[in-house]
Amino acid sequence: MKKQQIIFMILLLGMINGPDNSHAQEVMCPMDATGSPAAPPATLHVGVILVQFSDWQTNTDARGGRCHIHQTDNDYTYQMYYDHLFGTNYRTDPYGKQTHDEEDLFGSLKEYFDEMSYGDLTITGDIINPHPDPDATPTFVTLTQTKAYWEGQSISPAALLNAALAVSGYSISGYDKIVVIYAGRGGGSGLQPAASGYPFKSGYFVYQIHEKTSSDRGRTQTLGTFEGIGTHCHEFGHLLGLPDMQIDSATWPGGLREFDLMANGNQGFMDGNHDNTSIGGYHAPTPLSGWGKLVLGWATYTDIATDQTINFPSFDESNNIFVRFVNDSDHDNWYEGEYFIIENRRPAFASGKRSFDGDMMNGLLIFHRANTPHASTDLNLDVVEANGVDEAGSYIGSCKNAHLFPGTTNNTAFTPLSNPSSNIRNGPRSGFALTNIAVNGNGISADAYVNYLVSNSTDATASNNARKLVRDSSGNYHLVYESEGEIYYQHSTTGTGNWLGLMRLSAGNGNNKFPCIAERGGNIYVAWQRQYMSTHNIHFRSHVSGSWGSVQTLATGVGANPPLPVITTPATSKLMVVYRTSNNFYYRVSSNDGSSWAAATAVPWPGASDSAPALAPTTTYWGNGTRSCLVYAYNNGSTYNIYYQYYRNGPDSAEGWNTTRTNLSSIVPGSYNSHKKPSIAPSGTSGDKRLHVVWEARSGTSGNYYVIIHRKATDWYTWPNVYSVTYYEQQKEPSITGLANDTAELLFKYATQNQIYKMHYDGSSWGSP
C-alpha cells in the first residue's frame, strides 16, 4: 500500500452567486495547505446543525419554504434532512425516492461513501436541531448577524459553527465531524462551501454548505430543493483529507473533471454537455477515482508486471485496482513516479442496481500520473482520452463516453503507437500496452503487455543477419522481435500504420533471442534460439492456413556461442533453417511447411570459425528451380572474409549444396579488412533476378573507420568483379532489401550517433544517406 501522511487542511470551495454563473459552480476550491489524507476510521459519527440569519428567517427562499418548480409551500422536515445525508435505500431503483419537488434521488451521503469504501467506512449522524417529530420542520439556529455580514467575512466554517454554538448552547460532544447547513443560497466569499479543521476541539472537522441551490438535474438555477449530495460528498472528502483535483487548482493534479468527485464529479457526469438535463447532476455525483481510494486505503492494487490477459473487475464492486508502473522507483508512494491506473467503470452493479456511474456507459477509464505535467494547467494526474483528443478537464462537462475504452469511438488498443499513447510523459516509449479491449459480461477484458514493441536487449538484432520484418504480396508487414526473453509477432495492415495481433510465439520460458522471419503465400515462418543452461536450442513456429502451430524444437545443445538461426522459404511449402554450432553451420529442410524436417546436416566448407549466417532465396533464370543462398563471415587465419554458397532446391536439379564456395571479399583491396556481418537479398522481377550482398568492413590499418561494401550477382552464382564502397560516418550492421528493376534499399547503423540511416541503390550507383 502506498504511503499515507496525515494532514490538517483548510479547504475552500467556490459556489454559485446567481444564474449567470450556473456553469462555474465549484470550479475553484483553493487549498491553504497541501498534503496527504490519513486512512479514516471504520466509523464516523457526524453532527448536523441547521442555521439561518437574522434577515433570512421568513423568506420563502429559506429552509426549502417554497418549491419554485411546482409553486407550492413545502418545508423540509427533519426526516428529509436526515435521509439526504444518512438515509439508506435512498435510490431511484428500486425504491423511487424523490425530493419534494419531484427530482430523482440516487443515494445519500452515507450510501455514497459506503459504496466508495467498499463497506470500510460507515457514516452515522444526527440533525442536532430540536424537532417535535421526524415529519416536522426542525427549528433552525438563528444567528444574530445578517446573511450579508457572513458573506463579507473570510471563509471560516469554524467561525460559523462557533457562532451557532454560542447562540444555541448545543453540545457537539460525541461527534467526529460537524456539518453546518445554512438557509438559502450562498453569496460572497464568506459563505462559500468550505471545509476546515475545527480549531477549538482536537480532531474535529467541519464543513459549511448552503441549504439549497439548483433543483434541476442539469445545470439550471431553479430554486426549491436541497443542494445535491454531490457537494456534500465533495466537502466530506476534504474532511477525510482529500485534496481538490480540478484542473484549475494551482496545488494539485487536474484534468479529471467529472471523472472524480474531488474534481467536478460532484456535479455528475454530463457526457460533454454542461446543459444536459437528462442526467442525475448534483444528486448523482461520480465516484471517487482509484487514486483517492488507494491513498485512503479503501482499495488495493495489482501491479501489471507481466504479460497477461486481464478481466478487469467492476470498479464499483471490487476493491482491487490494476496499476502499471512505467517510471516509478517507489511503488509505496502515490505522490511520486509515473504510472497508469485502470478502472472498469460500470453504470450498474451485476445485480442491475444503478451505480454512481449510472449516467456513463461501460468502459475502461485510464488515468496517467507523472512527475511532469503534460500541460501548463495539468499538475501530474490526467485522464487518458480514448478518442485521442486532450479535452477532459478543459471545461465543466468536458468528460465524455468517448474518453472510455472502447467507448463510443470503439478504441480497443492503448499502446506506445496508438493515439492516445502509453508513452512516458515527455519521454520514451513505456512499452505498456492494452490490446483487444472488449466489454465482457460484468468485466472488461484486455491483453496486457509490459514491453510492447520494446526489446530490453542491447543486442536485440545480433549481427543483423536475420530478417525481423517481411512484406507479403498484399502489402501487409509482419514483424518478429525479442522482448524480455520472449519472441513476439505483430502485423500491420496495408496503409494503416497500426500494429495488430500481438502474440507471444515462444513458450514463456525466457532466454529466447534473435528471431528470423520468412513469408510465402500468406504463411509465416519463424525460427529463433533459446539459451538453456550453458548451451542453445533452436525453435520454430509457423502460421499456416490461418492459425499458429505449436512451438517445435529443431535442435538442442548446439553450443555456447549464439547460433544465430536464419530461415527462408525458397518455394511453396519448402523451408530451410541454417544455424551456427561450435564446429560448423548446420541446416534442416522441410517440404511441408515445417510439419516434418529432414535430419540436421552440416553445411559443406564453413568450419569452426564461421560467423553470422545470412540466408535468402532466389529463383533460377528459367523459373522452374530455386536456390537458397547463404552468405557468412569466415576467418581464414589472417582476417575475416565474406563467403557465399547456395543450395539447390529443385526441381531443375537434384537437391543439395554446390560443390564450391565464393569469397566475395577477395576482390576488395587489403586496405579494407575484418569483413563481417553480411546481409543478402534478391531483387528484380521473374526471369531477371539479381542477388545483392552487403557487409561491414574496417577501413585502414588502424581500423578506426567502418564502411559498407556491396556486391551484386547477375544470377545465383555469377559474381562480376565489381564492388562498391559506401562511407558515411562509421557505417555498421547493414541490412539490404531488394526491390523491382534491380534496385535496393540499404539500412545501416551510424555507430557514433546510434542512429539508423537509409540509402537507395538505383541499379548502378548508391544515393546519399
> CB of 665 within 8 A of CB of 452?
no
Between CA 430 and CA 456 the distance in angstroms is 12
Cα 168 to chain center, whole Å?
55
Q: What value, to the nearest 5°, has the Cα angle with vertex 369 and ends 364 and 373?
A: 125
Note whether 225 and 66 are within 8 A (CB). Answer: no
Percent of the chain with pLDDT over 70: 81
Q: Enumerate the β-bridge partners of residue 548.
A: 543
User: Which set of grid coordinates corresponds to residue 394?
Assistant: 478543459
Q: Coil, strand, or helix at residue 425?
A: coil
pLDDT band at residue 13 using 50, 70 and 90 as cut-offs? very low
Instruction: Give Cβ neighbours of residue 52 (< 8 Å, ≥ 6 apart).
Output: 62, 63, 140, 141, 142, 143, 182, 183, 184
Mean pLDDT of 205-230: 58
pLDDT at 350: 84
Q: Which candidate, 119, 149, 378, 105, places its Cα nearest to that of 246? A: 378
Query: Using one digit for the tens of pLDDT, what is the confidence trace for 323-364?
Result: 999 988 888 788 888 999 999 999 988 888 888 998 889 999
Give the C-alpha separation, 193 to 11, whole Å: 9
Q: What is the mean pLDDT of residues 523-530?
A: 97
CB-CB contact of 179 with 57 (8 Å): no
Among the ranges 19-33, 153-167, 677-691, which has the highest mean pLDDT value? 153-167
Strand partners, 324: 340
Three-state SS for 193? Answer: coil
Average pLDDT for residues 53-71, to the nearest whole number?
56
Can you give the C-alpha Rg of the chain in angstroms? 36
CA distances for 212 relative to 6, 62, 69, 610, angstroms: 32, 9, 14, 85
**Range scoring the smallest mean pLDDT among 24-33, 442-451, 637-646:** 24-33
CB 401 within 8 A of CB 360: yes
Cell numbers describing residue 34: 497541501
What is the rounded CA–CA span in Å between residue 289 and residue 407?
A: 18
* CA–CA separation, 437 and 374 (whole Å): 25
643-652: average pLDDT:
88
pLDDT at 62 over 50: no
* Percentages (nearest 5) of helix, strand, coil residues in the chain: 10, 35, 55
DSSP 148: H
C-alpha cell at 208: 459549511
* Better pLDDT: 374 or 336: 336
Q: What SS3 class is residue 543?
A: strand
How far, in Å, CA of 187 to CA of 189, rounded? 7
Contact by Cβ (8 Å): 562, 513: yes
List, by residue range, all CATH 2.120.10.10 domains of the chain. Answer: 459-602, 614-768
Instruction: Give residue 95's pLDDT.
Output: 59
Cα–Cα distance, 644 to 53 (Å, whole number): 99
- What lies within 8 Å, CB to CB, of 71 at 6+ separation is none
**Within 10 A of 509 (CB to CB), how many other CB atoms are there?**
11
Provide the CB-side half-sphere exposure for 150 (13 A, CA): 33
- The pLDDT of residue 220: 38
**Which has more pLDDT, 563 or 73?**
563
Q: Higher-confidence residue: 41 or 277?
A: 41
Per-residue pLDDT tens over the stretch 239-297:
888 888 765 444 444 468 889 999 888 888 888 877 776 677 778 899 999 999 999 99
Among 578, 597, 580, which residue's Cα sits nearest to residue 467? 578
Mean predicted confidence (pLDDT) in 423-438:
87
CA geometry: angle 31, 236, 44, nearest 5 deg: 130
Does pTM top 0.85 for this prediction? no
Which residue is listed with cell 439508506? 88
Q: Is 545 exposed, middle or buried (0-12, 13-18, 19+ CB in 10 A)?
A: exposed
220 vs 666 pLDDT, higher one: 666
Give the C-alpha distances (Å, rounded to integers) separating 243 from 14, 111, 178.
14, 21, 19
pLDDT of residue 81: 86
Sorted by sequence, the CB contacts under 8 Å of residue 458 that are 6+ apart come out as: none
603-608-613-615 Cα dihedral, nearest 10 degrees: -10
β 705-713/724-726 pair status = antiparallel
Neighbours of 379 (CB within 10 A): 18
Q: Which CATH number fits domain 614-768: 1.10.10.10, 3.40.190.10, 3.40.50.300, 2.120.10.10?
A: 2.120.10.10
Q: Which residues pair with 615 in a beta bridge?
A: 630
Residue 635 has pLDDT above 90, yes or no: no
Query: What is the per-residue pLDDT for 59?
Result: 47
Is 147 strand, coil or helix?
A: helix
Partners of 512 in beta bridges: 530
In tens, the pLDDT along 160-215 reads 999 999 999 999 999 999 999 887 766 667 887 878 766 544 445 777 776 654 44
Peptide bond before residue 132 is cis, with ω within 30 degrees of 0: no
Average pLDDT on 79-94 reads 81
Task: Quick: pLDDT tens for 574-626.
Answer: 999 999 998 889 999 999 999 999 999 999 877 655 677 877 777 654 456 78
DSSP states along 228-294: PHHHHHHHHHHHTTPPP-STT-SSS----GGGSTTTTGGG---TT-TT--SS-GGGSPPPPPHHHHH
Q: Average pLDDT of the chain?
A: 82
CATH topology of domain 459-602: Neuraminidase (2.120.10)
Q: Which three cell numbers stand for residue 113?
A: 461513501
| Whole-angstrom distance, CA of residue 17 vs CA of residue 24 | 10
More confident of the two residues 442 and 535:
535
Per-residue pLDDT, 136: 84
Quick: pLDDT tens for 722-747: 999 987 778 888 999 988 888 999 99
At 567, which helix (H) or strand (E)?
strand 566-568
SS3 per-residue string spanning 684-741: CCCCCCEEEEEEEEEECCCCCEEEEEEEEECCCCCCCCCCEEECCCCEEEEEEEECHH
